[in-house]
Amino acid sequence: MAGRRLALLMIAAFALLVVLALLAVGGYIAEARRHVGADYTAMTTDVVRAQEDAVRLRLTLDSLRASPDPLHAEQLERQLWVIELRIRGITRLLQRSQLPRDEYRPLVAELARLESRLPALRRAMAAFVTGRDPRRLVEVGGELEEGLAWAYSELNERLLEAAAGQRRMMERLTLAVIALAGVAVLMIGGLMLALWRIYQQREALIQQSRTDPLTGLDNRRHLYEVAAQEFARYRRDAGPLSLVLIDLDHFKRINDAYGHPTGDAVLVALARTLLGEVREVDRVARLGGEEFAVLLPDSDPAGAARLAERIRARIACLELPERAAGERLTASLGVATATPQMAGLEALYAVADRRLYRAKAEGRDRVVAGVEGDVLGPSPASPQAERVRPSP
């Protein structure tokens, strides 16, 4: 159960990691594209508007030459003011941008030169209006118009090229980020898989160290570990704790007559029988060879004796596998219940073991239980005798 919870937790953590990685990559791509697109959109929009200044300047100059009145002169003055502000604004944008300075330095220099020519155009406009020098307006105005048209056209083209290059770079960076995120997710997934396999191997080793490899029951070591916990609970809660030792009678005869594989099959069948008789809280262990034990928490002497007799009867009726099917299997059982004077399983085991050997000494196929070692099971003279209840 703990392993399943850990597996589900690791799967959920990995899924959450993948979702977070996808959200982070998607957010990065969207934000980066929006930011880059906004930068170039703003600059390109300003340049496109600036290109219209050259057209308006030509139209205003033509209107002034056709009719040199104060209204057209005022329009030209406003136009020159807008051109001056636009040049300064675009120059600041270029200086604050991350665009290559060397590539845009000639255009910035040309815009600065054109800005320096605006006072000359104002003076030429004043001379034209007063009739002193009409050719100067055409000369300076044409120079400024051509310079603005060329500078803004070049700037717009280079901005478009830079935007296309930036988009290509952005696509490469996006692919790189996706690849890195994928590698990171795969590495973390591989690490989690390795940790899971290490956990499984550790659990398998722990299980092997606690389990009898033939029957799948607890081994002696694990029984002692569980018994230490049960004895601690017994001292704390004063609940009864009993132990049943089981030893098969004349089991060596089956091994000698039918071989060890048949003997192993008998032990496996016995293990299944024991598991079918006990409660979920009880612990069944193979102590070695043909000796088994059942640790019974919350089981008093009478209850432990009844279980032991039930087990003895089931073993006596057990159908043996393979070539030993015609044989009859019996077992001797010793039952003991913990007392406050007992220090642990060793003391409880010693009492149950003495009663087990008493059962063997008195003819086998019987249960010895109770304070004085009451005998349950058929008497030596009558194998089918009625069972005797343990003395109180």
Catalytic residue among 290, 319, 346, 386: 290
115 carries an active-site annotation: no
Structure-token match 């502000």, residue found: 85
Sign of the four-CA dihedral 161, 162, 168, 171: negative
Q: Cα–Cα distance between 156 and 217 in angstroms, integer?
A: 84
How many CA atoms, within 13 angstroms, populate the side-chain half-sphere of residue 144? 32
Q: Cα–Cα distance between 44 and 157 in angstroms, integer?
A: 9
Closest by CA to 302, choosing from 337, 347, 349, 351, is 337
Per-residue three-class SS string for 225-272: HHHHHHHHHHHHHCCCEEEEEEEECCHHHHHHHHCHHHHHHHHHHHHH
Residue 130: other Cβ atoms inside 10 A:
10
Instruction: Please work out, in degrees rounded to the nearest 5, the angle formed at the alpha carbon of residue 108 by the alpha carbons of 161 and 119.
Output: 140
Q: List residues bridging with 241 in a β-sheet.
A: 297
Closest by CA to 62, choosing from 1, 142, 161, is 142
**Angle of helix 260-277 relative to helix 251-258, nearest 10 degrees?**
140
Structure-token match 């001379």, residue found: 127
DSSP readout, 23-89?
HHHHHHHHHHHHHHHHHHHHHHHHHHHHHHHHHHHHHHHHHHHH---HHHHHHHHHHHHHHHHHHHH
Q: List residues bridging with 291 in a β-sheet.
A: 247, 288
Residues annotated as catalytic (active site), given as ranges: 290
